């Protein structure tokens, strides 16, 4: 959500300024480009050198800059136009009043007045100042200008008092900005539950029953759902893959029973559930405590059925849009349609192992999307990332219908 965004962080003179080192780190970790403007008093609370090191950009504090015996100026207009997002945190009562009334007596305020981007401000002050009518008037005026307020929280304040006025935590500031940016996306404020990968069913401490699924299809679905603004819970069987995205929570499991429990823990609050995992149908009835020795030429293992995760979700489905996968080798359409109806799905994604380039361990996939109204749409062979786009477009078109 913040990857590649230019973020201008304005820091004013309050004790909460020390938290901005953590805020800069979080923004950089999210992939943003960060520049920092300090007011003169802010440098008493947080080191410009620290912020410059973390942001990988010089910290600006005045209109004039001196380099190599030459005098130049920090162009506030260019800074305002450079920024995709401006965050002022902490925003003191003094700065908020100046912003609300158009006072322009430092670089930060001049840049604010030049900014064409969304502006967020996170107030920080003592509780009496926070509740004062003049401060509330500043809040109202700034929001009427289109600025976004990240409200202060309650807690212990620098004065020793306890109450409202504590600056929002850096994590909450980043989440607030992300939520604002995601509101225009198709899956904004949606929770998407996705399963991926195989399951491993233990035979003994070193052996298992499993399959060749890499989990790539499920991981690509998770990445695309997050790109579209969703909060994603990815329940993954054993896989070397990983996703670095704050909108994706990955829960790693090993067996079908573990996946069943993890999925049901999140299903009730999900808006969309996509079961792309290749769950083992059977597991050994008895799991040996010790490694089984080669004592004979034959080894028999009695298998018992695992719980059908997709079927169980269909039985308790309320408002969720439930999607399953069907990997078939014969009578593909008939078998997929039968699974869709039996398991009370809204749609099913059909793969055939007879299609070259589709199936486990491949970078590509060829799918047919079938919904509960028997609408069938076949797609050409594509990368699994492109297939994820197609699947989510089909889902979105139906939940918005």
How many angstroms from the chain centroid is the CA of residue 245?
Answer: 5
Do the beta carbons of residue 111 and residue 36 sit within 8 Å? no
Verify whether residue 6 is a known catalytic residue: no
Beta bridge partners of 349: 325, 369
- The crossing angle, in degrees rounded to 10, of helices 93-101 and 133-144 is 50
| Paired strand residues for 227 | none
Beta bridge partners, 85, equal 7
CA distance 279 to 237: 9
Rg for the chain, CA atoms, rounded: 27
- Choose the catalytic residue: 74, 75, 137, 211: 211
What is the greatest pairwise CA distance in the chain? 88
Is the distance from CB of 189 to CB of 151 less than 8 angstroms? Answer: no
CA distance 126 to 129: 5
**Contact assessment for residue 274 and residue 195, using Cβ atoms and an 8 Å cutoff:** yes
Q: DSSP secondary structure string, 60-87?
A: B-SSEEEETTEEEE--HHHHHHH-SEEE
Closest to 272 (Cα-Cα) out of 242, 227, 313: 313
Q: How far apart are CA 202 and CA 205, in angstroms?
A: 7
Report, as residue numbers or ranges, the catalytic residues. 211
């Amino acid at each position: 959500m913040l990857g590649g965004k230019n973020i201008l962080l304005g820091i004013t003179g309050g004790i909460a300024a020390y938290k901005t080192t953590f805020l800069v780190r979080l923004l950089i970790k999210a992939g943003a480009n960060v520049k920092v403007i300090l007011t003169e008093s802010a440098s008493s609370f947080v080191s410009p050198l620290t912020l410059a090191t973390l942001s990988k950009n010089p910290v600006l504090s005045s209109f004039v800059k001196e380099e190599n015996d030459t005098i130049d100026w920090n162009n506030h207009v260019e800074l305002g136009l450079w920024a995709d997002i401006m965050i002022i945190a902490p925003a003191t009562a003094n700065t908020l009043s100046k912003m609300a009334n158009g006072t322009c007596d430092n670089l930060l305020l001049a840049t604010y007045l030049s900014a064409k981007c969304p502006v967020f401000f996170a107030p920080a002050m003592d509780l009496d100042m926070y509740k004062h009518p003049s401060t509330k008037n500043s809040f109202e005026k700034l929001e009427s200008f289109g600025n976004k307020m990240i409200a202060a929280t309650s807690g212990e304040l620098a004065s020793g008092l306890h109450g409202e006025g504590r600056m929002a935590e850096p994590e909450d500031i980043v989440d607030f900005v992300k939520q604002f940016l995601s509101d225009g996306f198709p899956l904004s404020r949606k929770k998407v539950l996705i399963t991926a990968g195989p399951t491993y069913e233990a035979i003994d401490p070193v052996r298992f029953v499993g399959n060749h699924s890499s989990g790539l299809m499920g991981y690509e679905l998770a990445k695309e759902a997050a790109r579209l603004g969703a909060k994603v819970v990815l329940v993954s069987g054993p896989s070397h893959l990983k996703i670095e995205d704050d909108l994706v929570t990955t829960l790693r499991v090993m067996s079908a029973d573990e996946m069943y429990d993890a999925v049901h823990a999140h299903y009730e609050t999900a808006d969309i559930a996509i079961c792309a995992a290749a769950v083992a149908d059977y597991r050994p009835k008895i799991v040996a405590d010790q490694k089984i020795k080669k004592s004979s030429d034959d080894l028999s293992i009695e298998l018992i059925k695992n719980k059908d995760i997709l079927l169980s979700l269909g039985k308790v489905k309320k408002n969720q849009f439930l999607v399953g996968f069907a990997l078939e080798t014969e009578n593909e359409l008939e078998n997929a349609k039968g699974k869709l109806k039996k398991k009370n799905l809204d749609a099913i994604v059909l793969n055939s192992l007879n299609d070259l380039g589709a199936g486990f361990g491949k970078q590509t996939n060829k799918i047919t999307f079938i919904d509960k109204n028997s609408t069938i749409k076949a797609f050409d062979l594509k990368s699994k990332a492109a297939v994820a786009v197609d699947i989510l477009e089909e889902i979105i078109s139906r939940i918005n219908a």
